[in-house]
Chains A and B, each alone.
Chain A
Amino acid sequence: MMHARQIAVKTGRGGTEIRRETRLEGATLTIGRSTTNRIQLSGLGVGLHHAEFFMADGGVSIRGLEGHEIFVNGIAVIETRLATDDVIRIQQHEIRLNAPGDGLDLDFELVELERSGDALQELEKRTRVGLDRGLFTQRKLSWLLVAAILVAFAWGPLFVGTLETSWSSGPMARAHAGIATQCESCHLQGFEPVGDDACRSCHESVGEHIDPEHPHVGIDCASCHVEHNGSLGLTDLEQSFCVECHNADLSPPDLQSAEDFGVHHPLFSVELESPESRPAGRFRVEANPREAPGIRFNHVHHTVTGVVDSRTGDERILACGECHEPEPGGKGISDISFERHCQDCHSLGFDTEAGKREAIHGDPVAMRQSLREFFAWQELEKVQSARQSTNAAPSLRRGRPGANITPEQRREIAASVETLVERASHFLMRDETRGVCIGCHDVLRGEASDGGDDVAPVTIPRRWMTRSIFDHRSHRFSECTDCHPDAADESDLGSTDAGHIGLPDRANCRECHAGGHASEPFIPSNCVMCHEFHILGNTP
């Protein structure tokens, strides 16, 4: 029989220590979870029958039951003899042995080190409902995202090169592809629009529209050239921009107000350098101004009635394009060149002993000089051939010029050359019936620098409508006569002489072109379709 005293020590919720004493006796004292044990220990980790105290050799021992180990002074044992001050640990319980007092075999304190609490509280402690904890809260995520965005896209582009393009509002025009990632090459200064300086640093020679000193300027490159708007266009063709100035009297005095080609647009004017009986200037097309170009030319003959090839004698009708060839690129029409366009039919030939020869075109003085040279050669040749009839060695037949010509011979030759030149020149420039030069040109008798006849200067303007651009190429599917009907008009209106200006008037263009907002069947035509903004030569 074993006598024991147990002092259960607990700590209450308030922190106070509770000690309760119990006397136990029995052959053995079992320890375990079950209520059948003498010493009951709470906690599910404790075995149902965990261990027992028993008497052995006059002392108290402990042994584990059902395979449970016990920790005595921190060492795992199955069975051991106990001594005072030993500490036995079973799960969260400690059994501390004291020196047994009178009549006791065993005296111990039972201490519960930790305790399980109220089931509901424990459950609630293990419960985490609601989303306002940890990083995943609306506010924290908001701050994080906002901070990240501000760093990456507000601070970043200003200080980190690679982030700069994130501010690009759209693809750059193809022309600028080379500088697409170099924002600072255009955007020189924050909060300032891209200035003309930036554009002109590359585009040095672009002409100004008006005098840069003009007080009403307020126009910069970016007004029309909008970047970041796709890879194709770069030019804002909005005509209201033009109209803003041109519909008012702000324009230079010689400019007339315009609003829209289809609605309000000045009549067409031509720039004439040598108008008939008037000083040079601008004239309305509709007024049929005439020109004195210093040449005679009948379009109708060439295109309708037919002309005779002076070489072959064949009759020919010419197409416009046979003379009016497009310039390279096709936009403009090349100048008429005598050599290329006229000479085939209009021979400058004159008869000589040596056969038919052609005079050179363009400069009467030079022409006469060439005639003189030719005839001199011809006369000298005659002298030479006369000498060759002697039996001189062939190598000697060609002697030093002049060496073997007598002064008389020279005088003779000179006189006959002059006569021949005179005769040929007369034939070319004064013979009305043959009309070699005189057919097209006015001959000014004796007015040339060498005292001979001269040809009045020909003044065909390069362009008549100097303030607009006409692209012949984009009109290439039209007939020439759609716009220039006079050139093939047999009636009185036909272009029968060179003074006639066969240019289309406003009405003619309006047959197809009808202002900026035209709809079918008309072609929308805003200002810049015909008018160049950057006036060449207006370089700052």
Chain B
Amino acid sequence: MDSITSAASVLAAGLAVGLGAIGPGIGQGSAAQGAVEGIARQPEAEGKIRGTLLLSLAFMEALTIYGLVVALVLLFANPFA
């Protein structure tokens, strides 16, 4: 791999994960906010709310993971190397 390709790949890998973490971060924050409000209003529904929250958090996390997959491809299986 020549140096300019590897430099661009490493930079792009960092950007993929970093930029990809912004949106899901905001989304997970608002989801957690909703869950806390729900629990404060109805403490007896805590178990159900927690289950749904964890499931939806994992869905949002998947978006960052897509960025991570792109980063891993760039670092370990670079098609341009």
Question: Do chains A and B interact in one complex?
Answer: no
Chain A residues packing against B (C-beta within 8 Å)? none
B residues with CB within 8 A of A: none
